[in-house]
């Protein structure tokens, strides 16, 4: 190729390359990656903060035995009070600190709506048909409780009883959750209870990705409006959704995470506890950490 032609081809490919880079930058801009890379802490800081212990010391004033209310809950399961929490606690090593979830979550970047309120969020949901779950639902299960609660529980989605009543956690798992709340020295009305999706998934299956993507922004708005000090996620779906991680619940539970200004504690779902009452001491231990942060005393027997 003669040198003049080579120069002209070189110039053209340079322009093409420049255009391609600009395209990538525009694409990144559309995805909001600019602010993400600009604002996130440097990787070494993320790694250092992940390496630091994140658990909050449990008040020594709080007993470690599983409360009777939790052990007796929902259809007379075998009492678990004989199981020593301290023993199971020692099985969880500090090495269980999770790195990915300490990175900024996608939801951290969702903008807060100034002055948002629960009634406005409910109004915006309306008679929702945004995802396929609306086809099988009886009632939208928005959430219930204290609109300025310090403690918020987040489940995965309504079951049959909740779909019929329009209230979260009213079935067998709900009764156990109520007992857990009472064991913490609170009443159901003191806390706020919501779910990742607001309509019942058919056959009580897990909510699917598209359903979660469609519905969870309303949960984020609820969290922003309530501004709880602590969010306790119940089961893998809600922990994985809020923390944007694929880590299993057995790895996540019992560890503190920061989420939109709140402290987030993942624990097992009460429905799991109904099937596996032996896991109650672990949940009670997680709840005790929550109680320590909120300054709660366990219910007197």
Site string for ligand URA, 31-70 (x = CB under 6 A): ----------------------------------------
Minimum CB separation from ligand URA for residue 235, in Å? 6
Site string for ligand URA, 133-172 (x = CB under 6 A): ----------------------xxxxx--x-----xx---
Count residues binding ligand URA (CB under 6 A).
12
* Contact call for residue 173 and ligand URA (CB under 6 A): yes
How many other CB atoms are found less than 10 A from the CB of residue 259?
21
| Nearer CB in complex with ligand URA: 192/298 | 192
* Contact call for residue 195 and ligand URA (CB under 6 A): yes
| Nearer CB in complex with ligand URA: 83/137 | 137
Site string for ligand URA, 245-284 (x = CB under 6 A): --------------------------x-------------
Minimum CB separation from ligand URA for residue 26, in Å? 40
Minimum CB separation from ligand URA for residue 208, in Å? 15
Between CA 243 and CA 264 the distance in angstroms is 9
Minimum CB separation from ligand URA for residue 65, in Å? 26
Between CA 163 and CA 118 the distance in angstroms is 20
């Amino acid at each position: 190729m003669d040198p003049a032609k080579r120069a002209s081809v070189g110039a053209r490919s340079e322009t093409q390359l420049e255009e391609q880079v600009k395209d990538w930058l525009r694409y990144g801009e559309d995805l909001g990656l600019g602010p993400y890379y600009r604002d996130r802490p440097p990787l070494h800081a993320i790694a250092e903060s992940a390496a630091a212990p994140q658990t909050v010391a449990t008040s020594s004033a709080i007993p470690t035995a599983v409360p009777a209310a939790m052990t007796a809950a929902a259809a007379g399961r075998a009492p678990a009070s004989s199981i020593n929490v301290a023993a199971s606690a020692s099985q969880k090593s500090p090495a269980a600190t999770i790195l990915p979830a300490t990175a900024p979550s996608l939801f951290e970047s969702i903008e807060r709506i100034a002055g948002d309120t629960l009634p406005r969020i409910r109004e915006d949901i309306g008679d929702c048909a945004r995802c396929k779950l609306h086809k099988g639902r009886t009632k939208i299960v928005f959430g219930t409780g204290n609109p300025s609660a310090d403690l918020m529980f987040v489940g995965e989605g309504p079951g049959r009883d909740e779909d019929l009543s329009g209230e979260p956690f009213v079935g067998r798992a709900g009764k156990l959750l109520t007992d857990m709340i009472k064991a913490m020295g609170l009443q159901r009305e003191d806390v706020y209870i919501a779910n990742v999706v607001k309509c019942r998934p058919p056959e009580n299956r897990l909510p699917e990705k598209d359903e979660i993507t469609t519905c969870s922004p309303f949960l984020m708005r609820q969290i922003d409006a309530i501004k709880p000090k602590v969010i306790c996620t119940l089961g893998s779906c809600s922990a994985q959704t809020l923390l944007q991680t694929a880590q299993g619940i057995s790895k996540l539970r019992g560890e503190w995470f920061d989420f939109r200004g709140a402290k987030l504690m993942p624990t097992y779902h009460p429905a799991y506890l109904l099937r596996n009452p032996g896991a109650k001491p672990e949940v009670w231990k997680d709840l005790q950490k929550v109680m320590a942060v909120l300054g709660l005393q366990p219910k007197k027997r």
